[in-house]
């Protein structure tokens, strides 16, 4: 059963700190507000639970798969509000003791975990004194993920996911072709976000003729890092429907199955794929 009526979704934007407990309290408040406005699918940004002072902080706060206060928090919030909650991302243990999986976790309205995606592409960037190399503390995932959100009388919303740097690799999101919505939790740097963020998001929506919901970190963090923010909802024709530039908050809007059908009928690019 596909989506039969419009459904409201929301992207939470945060400026997470190095204190997990503070971040969870703020995330809980923002989830409650978005749910109170009718959002049935809510997504949190990458590193919502921890923006460490040093790279190894995420390794030190890692959780075993299925157990830990961050995972318990996500399950509790999903069940409390009766929503589909996409927690992007949580540091989960991996075979390498010096690294973690940067895992996006999905919980259903009863608080049960429904899906997991480990970020595949690991960010590296060098520009003067600004440098990042996620591979030092993160192990890459190997599989893409699309899943179904059962929304009862509203039908089923097909959701694909990618995380931050994954956005630059259209071959990954092309595996998600046919999804109604692609969700992109991110912590784009201010430098790369200013240059490329909106362009990449709109391209992913246009080429896959689907909605894109981007939930970002957005501001100056306690570790001194600046993230770009600009969480947004984009429709299948590439139009930005809602956007939040900076600071904690959320953006929300509706997924309209008729808009998806109209765009795909008008421009049947998905049917014309050769590769």
- Active site residue ranges: 46, 119, 164
Confirm whether 13 is domain-assigned. yes
Confirm whether 20 is domain-assigned. yes
Confirm whether 274 is domain-assigned. no
Distance CA 213, CA 231 (A): 8
Confirm whether 85 is domain-assigned. yes
Distance CA 67, CA 242 (A): 35
Distance CA 38, CA 90 (A): 25
pLDDT at 132: 86
pLDDT at 131: 84
Domain span including residue 200 = 7-269
Domain count, the chain: 1
Confirm whether 1 is domain-assigned. no
DSSP string across the chain: ----S-EEEEEEEB---S-HHHHHHHHHHHHHHHHHTT-SEEEEPTTTT---SSTTHHHHT-B-TT-SHHHHHHHHHHHHHT-EEEEEEEEEE-SSTT-EEEEEEEE-TTS-EEEEEE--S--EEEETTEEEEGGGTEE------EEEEE-GGG-EEEEEE--GGGGG-HHHHHTTTT-SEEEEEE--BHHHHHHHHHHHHHHHHHHHTSEEEEEEBEEE-TTS-EEE--EEEE-TTS-EEEEE-SSSEEEEEEE-HHHHHHHHHHS-GGGG---
- Taking the whole predicted model, whether its pTM rises above 0.95 is answered as yes
**pLDDT, averaged in runs of 10, over the chain (275 residues):** 93 98 98 98 98 94 98 98 98 97 98 98 90 94 98 97 98 96 98 97 98 98 96 98 98 98 97 93
- Is residue 248 reached through a cis peptide bond, with omega within 30 degrees of 0 on the bond before it? no
Confirm whether 275 is domain-assigned. no
DSSP string across 5-53: S-EEEEEEEB---S-HHHHHHHHHHHHHHHHHTT-SEEEEPTTTT---S
Q: Which residues pair with 92 in a beta bridge?
A: 63, 101
| CATH number, domain containing residue 150 | 3.60.110.10
Confirm whether 2 is domain-assigned. no
Contact 222, 54 (CB under 8 A): no
Confirm whether 205 is domain-assigned. yes
């Amino acid at each position: 059963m596909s989506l039969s009526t419009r459904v409201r979704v929301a992207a939470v934007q945060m400026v997470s700190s190095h204190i997990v407990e503070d971040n969870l309290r703020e995330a809980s408040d923002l989830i409650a507000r978005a749910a109170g406005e009718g959002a049935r699918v809510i997504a949190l940004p990458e590193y919502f639970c921890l923006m460490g002072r040093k790279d190894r902080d995420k390794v030190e706060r890692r959780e075993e798969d299925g157990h830990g206060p961050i995972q318990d928090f996500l399950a509790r919030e999903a069940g409390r509000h009766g929503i589909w909650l996409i927690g992007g991302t949580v540091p989960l243990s991996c075979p390498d003791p010096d690294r973690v999986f940067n895992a996006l976790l999905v919980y259903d309205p009863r608080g049960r975990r429904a899906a997991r995606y480990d970020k595949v592409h690991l960010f590296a960037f060098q520009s003067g004194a600004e440098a990042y190399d996620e591979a030092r503390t993160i192990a890459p995932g190997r599989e893409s993920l699309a899943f179904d959100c059962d929304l009862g009388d509203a039908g089923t919303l097909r959701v694909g996911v990618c995380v931050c740097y994954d956005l630059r690799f259209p071959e990954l999101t092309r595996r998600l072709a046919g999804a109604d919505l692609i969700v992109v939790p991110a912590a784009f740097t201010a430098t790369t976000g200013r240059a490329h963020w909106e362009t990449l998001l709109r391209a992913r929506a246009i080429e896959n003729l689907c909605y894109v919901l981007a939930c970002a970190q957005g501001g100056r963090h306690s570790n001194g890092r600046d993230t770009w923010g600009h969480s947004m909802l984009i429709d299948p024709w590439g139009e930005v429907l809602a956007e939040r530039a900076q600071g904690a908050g959320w953006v929300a809007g509706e997924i309209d199955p008729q808009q998806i059908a109209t765009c795909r009928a008008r421009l049947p690019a998905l049917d014309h794929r050769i590769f």
